[in-house]
Each structure stands twice: as C-alpha cells, then as structure tokens.
C-alpha cells in the first residue's frame, strides 16, 4: 500500500514509478504482487497502461464511503485513448470547490 507516493517528487521521477512497480512484480518468483496506490495526481493517473478496471474511486457520503468503479462510458472513453486521469479525475472534484475563492482573511 502506497499512500500518495508522488508527493514531493519531481514529475520526471513520477513518470518512472510505473516501470519500477512493474519490475517489482516481474522479479517476484511466487504469486504476483498487488500494489495499492492512493493518489489524486494527474501525473500518476495519466501513465499509459493503467486500465479502467484497475482504478477504484472512493466517494465519501453521508452513510460512509462508497467504492466506485468505472462505468461503461468511462471504460469506452479510456479504451478509445483517453487517460484514466482525463476520464476519472473530474469525478473526484469536490462539490462547490469554487467557493474556496470567496474565503478571505481579515
């Protein structure tokens, strides 16, 4: 489990992470590893090869957190060439986030 591994890293280093994670799995002699990564980073989610079926979106709600997978339209857009970041990151945008600009310090 890696919690936002891209924090404080240069974007060029972030671009290398996918290859590093793939090599970790390839060098294992027994069963394949599962790597869980939490991120909001466009650089991480724009990496080629990340499929719609590999991303779970955690959506907080009144009754607790819901786990969302890509729907049929999301999968189709990703199959047609859009990145996971382009399709799924907009769905993580906080509601009414533009109201933050109204906040002022007195």
CA dihedral of 98, 37, 8, 103, whole degrees rounded to 10: 20
- SS3 state at 37: strand
Q: How confident is the model at residue 105 (pLDDT cuts 50, 70, 90)?
A: low
Express each pLDDT in 29-83 by its tens digit: 777 678 888 988 888 888 888 888 999 999 888 999 999 999 999 999 999 999 9
Q: What is the pLDDT of residue 67?
A: 95
d(CA 58, CA 104): 30
pTM here is 0.73
pLDDT value at residue 63: 93
């Amino acid at each position: 489990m890696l919690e936002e591994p891209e924090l404080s890293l240069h974007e060029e280093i972030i671009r290398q992470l996918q290859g590093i994670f793939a090599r970790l799995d390839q060098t294992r002699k027994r069963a394949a590893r599962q790597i869980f990564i939490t991120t909001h980073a466009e650089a991480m989610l724009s990496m080629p090869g990340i499929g719609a079926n590999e991303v779970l979106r955690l959506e907080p709600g009144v009754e607790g957190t819901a786990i969302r997978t890509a729907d049929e339209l999301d999968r189709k857009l990703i199959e047609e060439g859009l990145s996971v970041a382009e399709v799924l990151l907009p769905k993580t945008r906080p509601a009414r986030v533009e109201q933050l600009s109204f906040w002022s310090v007195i």
